[in-house]
Structures are given as structure tokens and as C-alpha cells.
Amino acid sequence: LTGAGDKALCTGMDVADVASGEAQGETPDSREEVPWLHLTAIQNRCWKPVITAVNGMVVGGGLHFIADSDLIVCSEDATFFDTHVKVGLIAGLEPVGLSRRIPLEAALRMALLGGSERLGAKEALELGLVGEVVPAEQLMPRARELAAKIAQHSPTALARTKQVIWEGLDRGLHDAVHHAWEAISEHSDHPDLREGSLAFVEKRKPRWKPYSD
């Protein structure tokens, strides 16, 4: 996942829509429906691994894609900030997701400062918000290199691995471990398990089955 050009990954909602009242209808009438929780792979229960290549600014709603990404590589000129409170909006959904990746104070600082200070690539790396910082010209080659390495492995094992890790964040440790063990048990009769072992013994590349949940 990356943005077009080199200016921004995503700058969130168009504030002009809020000013004109066009975004009013997106306010949920019920706690059961949160329209802004259907943006990312995680929110849509899609377990394909996601690498995000941050090529510039990430603002407001764009932070959803950072909070829910598996691996994040950013260019040296990347910046992260949240302008919700600056324009009278609640900075709620994005900081809740970010607070599972970075220290609470860092998430609060970004939300409450309203974009008056921006988090740079170096600081983002130090906080663990991103996993790697590279020069801009190396951003996409590095992201594709990581993708190619991931793509060598069993699609089903990858998807189920991602699923138990992310779903574990919504559970207590004891429950998360049991949930992971259930997935491991379910996977025990998958053909990729035997294929991986055979390929290793026979010193060849595995022939994985396509993923299907």
C-alpha cells in the first residue's frame, strides 16, 4: 500500500466536505455501525499480509492505514500528524488504533496537538510506529523486496499467522494463546504442512496450495 506521487500516503477526509455539511450523513445512528471501520485490510477481516510504503504525509484518517498495517517502511521525509481537533473534530478512531502500536503518551500527543507538531520518520522509527526508514528512492524497491520474501511462503500459513496475531490483541493473553493453538490444530491437516517438510527434505521450492478461508 502506498500513495500516488511523493507528497502523501493519505491525508484523510476532505475538510471541505465537513464544512459544507456533506459528511454529516456519515455519522452513525447506531453503535453497531461505524462507517470509518471498513477502510483497511484488518477492518475488513482480510488476512493477506500488508506492507505500507509511506511516501510523504500521513494525516488524520490516513493514520488508519498505519495503525492496521503489518509492516511499515517509510521514506526519510515522511511525516505523521493528526489535525482532527484543529478543525473541531474528535480525534478518536485513529488514536485508538495507534495506541496499540506506540506508547499512549505518543498517541495522545499526536491527537491533542492537532498537527501543530509533526512526527518525523526518525521519531516514528524510535517509537515503533514504523519498522524501517529508507531514502525516498529506495522506498518502493525495499517494500517490494519484503513482499517478495513474504510471497515465498505458504499463503495459508501466512494468512492464519497474521490472523491469530491481530486477533490476539483483542483478547487476554490466556485466551489469545488458546485461540492460536486452535488455529494451529486446524492447520495440522492442511496439505502445505506436509509439502513444506517434503520440499525441505528434497531441497526444492515448495508448491503451495492457493489460500482459501
Q: Measured between alpha carbons, how far apart are the two ends of the chain, in Å?
A: 23
Burial of 171: CB neighbours in 10 Å, binned 0-12, 13-18, 19+: middle
Full pLDDT tens readout for the chain, 213 residues: 999 988 999 998 776 666 556 655 455 555 556 666 789 999 999 999 999 999 999 999 999 999 999 999 999 999 999 999 999 999 999 999 999 999 999 999 999 999 999 999 999 999 999 999 999 999 999 999 999 999 999 999 999 999 999 999 999 999 999 999 999 999 999 999 999 999 999 999 999 999 977
Cell numbers representing residue 175 in the block: 485466551
Rg (C-alpha) for the chain, rounded Å, is 20
